[in-house]
Chains A and B, each alone.
Chain A
Amino acid sequence: MTENTTIPVLPVLIAKDFASDQEPKWCPGCGDHAVLQQIKNVLPELGIAPENIVFVSGIGCSSRLPYYLATYGVHGIHGRALPMATGLKVSRPDLSVWVGTGDGDALSIGGNHFIHTLRRNPDLNVVLFNNEIYGLTKGQYSPTSKIGLRTVTSPSGVIDQPFNTAALTIGSGGSFFARAFDRDGKFLRSILKRAALHKGTSLVEIYQNCPIFNNGAFEAFATADNKANNTVYLEQSKPLVFAKGKRGIWLDGFQPIVVDLDKEGISSSDLWIHDETDINKASILAHFADDHADSEESLPRPFGVFYAKERITYEDALTAQIDDAQKNGIGTFEELLKGDQSYVIK
């Protein structure tokens, strides 16, 4: 940066500046509308000009996302949003690249790309709409559907163990995982902003209700009572407390245990203190979801940033190698054509 560099003044944009001229075609009541709204709310806060933002998607209801945003957008093929976004980001590190994907797109047909993208860590913001169902193809079970769910392709109930998105992300070497909920707009907005600011692949899993084919899949966390008793909101350096401050999580070795704060003489300072840079704790948090919220002792479902630890991004590592290769000058066209083993015939 030279002294004369002036920072361009961006016009002040608001959410509706990021709305495209296309009317969303999602069903009335679909959680996707709420997610779209929060994305539109967050984008003006980032200070990035719309022409420098690209939304990439695969196939599925959620993958229609780019059409409704007044940024650049490309809607690809089923499961392949992540490699498309990677290719774009690697060749254009200057762009803010977002991915809209769903549980089928990211975890089933695109499962391979999911794990490899996370380990490479390009700077992408991945918004994974998890509705635990295939919506666009009308109600088949997905890789996150709960065991026993009856759908058109599982008339006797699902028998596949569902993917645990958080565990899969952390296990794949992901540098950021957060969970949010379509109904909690304010919280979702804060999480999306965190994801945008994280340099590396940010994976945000959003529990998103499909009112048509899987209505109420997240009801256990939805009503005020359910939310209080069955969810825990993670805050950095704060104890894991839920049920309106009455209960907390105590870590016994590697074993998380639900404790009543008033009954057992345990104060909140004895509780598990959230540390989003601790991968071991993040792994334990990821497995809270294995516990189904059906009893007093059940672990609550965590929401918020489970894990966030920056490490070098793929595109930065590649750029560094290129810079190193060019430290004595960029290869010339003549040099390229001549090669290093040419010979002269006289």
Chain B
Amino acid sequence: MTDTKLTTKQVNVTSKTSVSVLFAGDSGDGMQLTGTQFANTVATHGTELNTFPNFPSEIRAPAGTIAGVSGFQLQFSSKPVYTPGARFDVMVAMNSAALKANLKDLHRGGIIIAGTEGFDEKNLKLAGYPPGVNPLEDGSLSNYILFPVPILQLTREALKESGLSSKEIDRCKNMFVLGLLYWLYTLPLEGTFETLRAKFQKNVHMAEANIRAVKAGYFFGDETELFANLGRFDIAPQKQHGTYRRVTGNEACAIALTAASKKAGLKLFLGSYPITPATEILQTLAKKKKYGVKTFQAEDEIAGIVSSIGAAYGGALAATNTSGPGLALKTEALGLAVILELPLVVINVQRGGPSTGLPTKPEQSDLFMAMYGRHGEAPLPVIAACSPVDCFYCTYEAARIAVEHMTPVICLTDGYLALSSEPWKVESPDNLPDITPHFHAPRQPEDPPYLPYKRDDRQVRAWAIPGTKGLEHRIGGLEKQNETGNVSHDPENHELMTKLRAQKINQIADTLPLQTIDNGPTKGDLLVLGWGSSYGAIKTAVEQAIEKGYSVAHAHLRYIHPFPKNLGEILSNYKKILIPELNNGQLIHIIRDTFLIAPEGFTKIQGVPFNEMEILIKITDIIKELQS
């Protein structure tokens, strides 16, 4: 494909460290596909990358309206990036609603590439602009660099001889945009062509038409005078050499469960019910049959978890995945898993609540439910992932704890991590920690009686699975006598068992790594204590605060229950603790309750992640207050 390397005009190429781009359009405009393909290209080119798709919960909200706007934001960079960018530098707006919905997050002086056909009278009206007002023409965008491009018309011209129907041609307009952006950022086209050829293997016409649209966009950049002053940009690839793949958080969870089953030598069983934004975990695992994975799409959330408990009883690595409303339905069964003391991984991809809430939007508001959302005294380990790639390590860790400590474990991610993606340097099986199930050996008739609830010094019982001779035993949700497991209503025994179950969970802390400081001094003015997906925003904000000379550190919690053993000591080393959360303040309660300190909370409940600027401003305020 040498032709794509030919640029007829000499245009200035400026080097930049990083760029944040938003592709925005109607949910029928193919923006997710465009963004994903662009991300694949920059990833394989070797730049650092972080992506964030943002789309409505309706499959097709009314076309042209603000409600129907679908966006895909990504930041790519020559140095590590942890967020898709607080604001974007470039916005592709396929229609007026996309522009209106996102303009507030475009940097002043940023670039707008607007598809002019999306700014006709009808679209302007649907987006809610007053009659006669067109932002492309009224000078209201003078603080930005505006490029109105007749994307649809140019696509039609390029494909007029493609043999495709006019509807099919129009749907290729996103590929035109993709080509134009490749030109702007001096990116290679071949990978996209390969992808398109593979995707439309059975429809060569369609593949070639899409390729032609990409080229048309690329050549348009080259030939038009529009970009003469702006020029092109180059973000130098900096990634260390090696083999990489790009994963979303949900994919990472699915791979981790499979990996954990391989490492532990167990069969993987996932009982699940589709729910946004957790479904891709089920979908990904349904395609892992080659690895012996069994997925079971249950009739409801309850059957999802209960079937997994059945599989765990049978000796499988059992898991279920869900989002908030589903976790609520699973809580009774979680109590059963707690009292049975069987291993179970529960991945909860948090979304805005309560009730149906904001199904496609992230929130960190299920922490209380994960910690306390069961009847009776039913403690279980809770851990949280902090990035799409960390979803792998966190889920794997959840499986390790579950199997080795015979307990259900909740692994929290959220809608942001679930759908965002990052490059991941391909992991080697040898680098992953061992997972050792402790199965009870078969028993001969002359051996001492088998005691299902006899514990080791970690308070963990052995896993006695059906098929093992001599271990036939009956367990259930009723309180059980210590060691024998027989049904018991004895008052002292219930208290003992309640405490043993809690002690088992607390003792897990003995085996966990100590909390570390991610960045900044080990003693100082301010510690920003985060958990979950706000990692990137906090990390970036704290980096910038340290550059300003502030005495600020960042610690990010993976283990929320039990806490790492040194957490209290760490917290005592700072004058002030700041806890940013995408909820109305939940971790802050737990920290206060556990350590009897008074941290400062910083919350955001808008269905969108924190951006680094918001946190930096908060840090700056606190530091100034401390200094005054």
Chain A contact residues, CB within 8 Å of chain B: 20, 22, 49-57, 59, 66-67, 69-77, 80, 82-92, 94-95, 112-113, 116, 318, 321-322, 324-326, 330-331, 333-334, 336-339, 341-346
Contacts and interface: CB of A to CB of B under 8 A. Distances in A.
B303 A88 contact: no
B291 A70 contact: no
A331 B244 contact: no
Contact of B472 (A72, A80, A113, A333): A72
Interface stretch (B149-157, B424-432, B490-498): B424-432
A92 B478 contact: no
Contacts of B306: 76-77, 80, 83-84, 87
B292 A326 contact: yes
Interface stretch (B2-10, B90-98, B233-241, B347-355): B233-241
A281 to B, nearest CB: 29
A154 B310 CA distance: 36
B474 A66 contact: yes
A83 B333 CA distance: 11
Interface in B296-354: 296, 298-300, 302-303, 306-311, 313-316, 318, 332-333, 335-336, 340
Interface stretch (B69-77, B118-126, B255-263): B255-263
B248 to A, nearest CB: 12
B296 A342 contact: no
Given A22-B486, A334-B429, A337-B429, A56 B310 contact: yes
A86 B307 contact: yes
B298 A83 contact: yes
Given A87-B271, A333-B429, A345 B241 contact: yes
Nearest to A65: B474
A345 B42 CA distance: 11
B288 interface: yes
Interface in B593-608: none
A11 B478 CA distance: 33
A70 B472 CA distance: 6
B406 to A, nearest CB: 15
Closest 3 pairs (CB-CB, A-B) = A75-B476, A87-B307, A87-B310
Nearest to A334: B429
Nearest to A341: B245
B471 interface: yes
B532 interface: no
Contact of B290 (A53, A90, A330, A344): A330
A59 B468 CA distance: 26
Contacts, number: 203
B313 A116 contact: no
Nearest to A84: B310
B470 A51 contact: yes
B302 A80 contact: yes
Given A66-B474, A72-B472, A90-B296, A116 B259 contact: no
Given A51-B467, A337-B255, 14 more contacts: A22-B486, A51-B466, A84-B310, A88-B311, A90-B296, A90-B307, A91-B318, A92-B311, A321-B289, A331-B288, A333-B262, A336-B288, A337-B426, A337-B429
Contacts of B244: 342-345
Contacts of B429: 333-334, 337
Contacts of B476: 57, 66-67, 73-76
Contacts of A325: 289-290
B269 A94 contact: no
Nearest to B466: A72
Interface of B: 40, 43-44, 46, 237, 239-247, 255, 258-259, 262-263, 267, 269, 271, 288-292, 294, 296, 298-300, 302-303, 306-311, 313-316, 318, 332-333, 335-336, 340, 426-429, 466-478, 486-487
20 contacts: A51-B472, A69-B474, A70-B472, A72-B466, A72-B473, A74-B310, A74-B340, A74-B474, A80-B333, A92-B467, A95-B314, A113-B303, A321-B289, A330-B290, A336-B262, A337-B259, A337-B427, A341-B40, A343-B43, A345-B243
Interface centre among B298, B302, B472 (most CB of A within 10 A): B472
Nearest to B474: A73
B474 A75 contact: yes
Given A88-B310, A343-B243, A75 B478 contact: yes
B466 A92 contact: yes
Contact of A91 (B40, B44, B269): B269
B303 A318 contact: no
Nearest to B300: A112
A97 to B, nearest CB: 9
A333 B473 CA distance: 35
Contacts of B316: 91-92
B81 to A, nearest CB: 16
